Structure 1
């Protein structure tokens, strides 16, 4: 007797929709990382050439203010925007701007950078003030729709950055009676707070995922104390005249950050450049806070602490994050090439040359500035050489994004 079996029921494979549109405009990190790297490559060497009288620009503000503002609200903000528009989608599962809307946001950023040199100051200020509140509204809306309240403070910090930027432009145009540099200090403090929040999440997570057997357990009390002490001490630095209490507050925050970093076991990352670059960059944070504390007492100039935070911490975290996240979001392995390691070392070298060597040999300041600018520019040129083709092309795995 023959027994006939019913045909097997198979589930048809799920066909994902094909990615649509120009790859550059499929996710926020693509145009903003590309723009930030190109701007970082050009703007710092240009600033040094301008400072040394080798070139001239038709700026409507002092070259020093242009340099400080553009590295914060041009370079660093571009990376922050690209990261948050990309992370917002990962955090919520909801779409963030792409296509024409993303092109408009990136175009607005670029227009402001060009207006700084080629347009009347009022046009530059107006264009420059539009991007951050738009991105803040987009991010907050996506987070609220997804019920993701944990990340809402990041949207609030973007709005505070908008306020600091508005204060800068208002002061530069004589509309408000504050020193423009104070608004820039506020902007740097807010960028550092964003880095404290994001690094506190990603650095230990990346470390545990890459190093089997490593378990890093956060201390809620230490995390809260570190963020609170940092916010308080930086607020005092921005708002109060130099004083001993602010110096103590900055020193206390530095100690908390050093303890936080040590709990992340940085010495175990030595064989993984994609990890140690983040740990090394974070190590500049307590160094920068200590140097700011010393400047409150007149022991060093304020520039040392500012550049420790801006070049060492911000620059180091940026080169580490824009390589790692761009690799992940273009479907590539999280194993960096020699060119990327060279870029890491160049940014670290730029920080040492810009911050520490002028303290040891101040008479050679011009040499240190030229060397630091060259190292910085070459680092981001290497990034572009590796990543620009990837940012302009579809993901290797065929997925969207």
Structure 2
């Protein structure tokens, strides 16, 4: 029995999604994943298209009145896009974990509109107004999620609530530092946000990927090592912290390599390479496999052997981008009453985001002189992948479940 929500109602007795006309009605605010997955995907595509245009010199009216372009890009991809997906996931998962309600209906619509106002405000509004609107969203979302856990006494997931609160603090810190003219420190706060969202992937992925794999492939030989599993969280925290703290290069590299090694053992034991042609599985394993690679690149960056930005984008595009496209398809399929089967659309989207990660991280290593070309290529794949998701899933997310169940 799968205990993480992300999943789904069971299929119909025939093993197929119930046939018949599309469900009627409007259900975009029936459960947290619906507005935030759709809004996050649309924003991911639009924001990346805008960033690519800026780099190409094609966009003269950008976010500069509010923020420097580099900070806008970093902030919005972390605290705009990724944070929306995290909130949508936790509101959906929280209800399944606890049996307690999470924001729906008017309350969910208000939170979503606050998130949307933050995106618009960060683009066009005066700094103080934009920062006040943007800074309010994550604390309110964290409060709602924490209350859900507290009502049920669900202590196991308190660390996830704490991580969401810390993400809210990182966002406010980034905004405050930017308002004070501390550009470098503000970008550092954005990197702290990346580290926190990465921890969500480490924790949730560690729970669900082995379960999903063994449930989907009876008899699959998956090796889990208790001692390694106990080390994963502390080692990852140390590894991520080493990329944020002012440590000597050798020490930052050592801590990063420790975390990379522990995660590599876990990834190898999961044997993701053996899941075969099952896109819903291999894309999750691929996202998790980016973790040790990103930490390895972070270690090499600390020693001055590769560009530091490669590790950053291994985390953001490789780990987070691939994990997000994997989970927003899987959970949306399950929670709209559909079969957990990746069709052509999902598979193409997976490949596009995987290609975006490969181009952004490995391209500059192969041909440094073509740096901008690699970014544009990666950006095009990213826009296409999340745009495809938004176009395909918009009607599914806006309509009631096909099986008639609530949510």
Q: Same fold (TM over 0.5)?
A: yes
Deviations along 1:10-44, one digit per CA (max 9) or x if unpaired, are: xxxxxxxxx99830000000000000110111111
Selected match of 2:26 from 9, 22, 25: 22
Match of 1:187 in 2: 193
Partner of 2:113: 107
- Structure 2 CA distance, aligned partners of 1:302 and 1:194? 23
User: Is contact 1:139–1:155 with CA below 8 Å preserved after alignment?
Assistant: yes
1:381 maps onto 2:364 in alignment: no
Q: Which residue of 1 aligns with 2:292?
A: 286
Question: What's the counterpart of residue 8 of structure 2?
Answer: none
Q: Quick check: which has more Rg, 1 or 2?
A: 1
Paired position in structure 1 for 2:352 = 346
Larger mean Cα displacement after TM superposition, 80-89 or 183-192: 183-192
Q: Structure 2: how far apart are the matches of 1:373 and 1:175?
A: 29
Tell me which moved more, 216-225 or 130-139: 216-225
Deviations 1:321-355 (A, max 9, x none): 00000000000001111111010000000001000
Distance 1:241 1:177 in 2: 20
Where 1:130 maps in the other structure, the secondary structure is helix
SS at match of 1:84: helix
Q: Given the alignment of the two structures, is residue 36 of structure 1 paired with residue 40 of structure 2, yes or no?
A: yes
C-alpha distance after superposition, 1:126-153 (max 9, x if no partner) = 1111111112111111112112110010
- More displaced stretch, 222-231 vs 309-318: 222-231
SS in structure 2 at match of 1:305: helix
In the aligned structure 2, how far is the partner of 1:20 from the partner of 1:147? 37
- 2:42–2:386 CA contact under 8 A, matched in 1: yes
Counterpart in the other structure of 1:7: none
TM-score by length of 2: 0.91
Cα deviations by residue, 1:222-273 (Å, 9 ceiling, x for unpaired)? 1221110110121122121451011011011001111111121202212100
The offset of 1:214, in angstroms, is 2.2
Q: Which has the higher contact order (CA 8 A, sep 6+)?
A: 2
Gaps of 5+ in 1: 1-18
2:146 is equivalent to residue 140 of structure 1: yes
Instruction: Report whether the alignment pairs 1:244 with 2:255.
Output: no
State the TM-score, normalizing by the size of structure 1. Answer: 0.92
User: Is the contact between residue 167 and residue 176 of structure 1 (CA under 8 Å) also seen in structure 2?
Assistant: no
Structure 1 partner of 2:137: 131
- Give the one of 297, 300, 310 matched to 1:304: 310
TM-align CA RMSD:
1.7
Unpaired runs of 5+ in structure 2? 1-22
Once the two structures are superposed, what CA deviation does each residue of 1:50-75 show, in whole Å capped at 9, x if it has no partner?
Answer: 12210121422211110011000000
CA distance in structure 2 between the partners assigned to 1:55 and 1:143 by the alignment: 44
Corresponding residue of 1:72:
78
Report which stretch shifted further, 165-174 or 26-35. 165-174
C-alpha separation in 1, matches of 2:116 and 2:248:
37
Query: What corresponds to 1:168 in structure 2?
Result: 174
